[in-house]
Amino acid sequence: MSSVLLVEDDQDLRFELSDYLSSVGYTVHGVGTLSAAEQVLDQGFALLLLDINLPDGSGLDFCLRVRPYVRAGIVMMTGRSERELRIQGLKGGADAYLVKPVDPEELDATMQSVLRRACEKRFSMVSAAAMPVQWRLDSVRLTLSGPNGKVCKLSQQEVLLLSTLVRASGQQASRAELLASLDTQGLASTGHRMEALISRLRSKVMEDMHLELPIRSIYGKGYAFLDHALVN
């Protein structure tokens, strides 16, 4: 019996697909956000069914980020059928791409095909490799180390902002949380200053480390750090 992680924010559709897949022999764990998916990803799943547009980020970005570390087959599902989007999803590590509304029988057939290909490649379909720490933030030395081994010197403001983001639940923090973390030291009080700080931080990391800082703005919510990091 294959285990499935279903990431779909439409509750009715999530329940509908979960019920059908359970009836044909899968063990299904359904969640509605990427942060909830990441919390259980290390349990190991044979298949990951992933919506693209989710409340806390893009399923495409998530697929690209976790693909090197999970051995599960990945099936993308979305209401958007643009050719470029399908190509982007498949290049980002998805094994299959389905356009909503998804026919449950077609989904089952697609999942079986992905599982067969996984077996042919001799994947262990019920395990996930540990997510490695990509970034290290040293709050004493005021430095940020990247996955390429380069180090960037930070200001106190930048360390406060990054540590708040990395330590936030699901590595996502609201604008209010970020402003509050800066205000504890009397360092910032407006959204404009915080946005300018993030912009300068991105530029500094690109210039000093030749890396794109994985901070993503989430409209109406705040910001998220889209990679694994450790704060010392």
Could you read off the pLDDT of 97-113 as tens digits, one per residue?
888 888 888 999 999 88
Cβ–Cβ contacts within 10 Å for residue 203, how many? 11
**Domain residues for 108?**
3-120
104 & 16 share domain: yes
Answer yes or no: are the C-beta atoms of 130 and 77 closer than 8 Å: no
155 & 195 share domain: yes
> Which of 120, 155, 179 is where one domain is finished?
120
CA distance 49 to 127: 16
Question: What's the CATH number where 95 sits?
Answer: 3.40.50.2300
Give pLDDT tens digits for 2-48: 889 999 999 999 999 999 999 988 899 999 998 888 888 877 788 89
Q: Provide φ and ψ at 49, rounded to 5°.
A: -100, 120
115 & 8 share domain: yes
61 & 166 share domain: no
Give how many domains the chain has, as a whole number: 2
Cβ–Cβ contacts within 10 Å for residue 19, how many? 12
Residues 6 or more apart whose Cβ sits within 8 Å of residue 77:
8, 49, 50, 51, 52, 98, 99, 100, 102, 107
189 & 107 share domain: no
Q: What's the pTM value of the predicted model, to 2 decimals?
A: 0.53
226 & 163 share domain: yes
| Residue 172 domain-assigned (yes or no) | yes
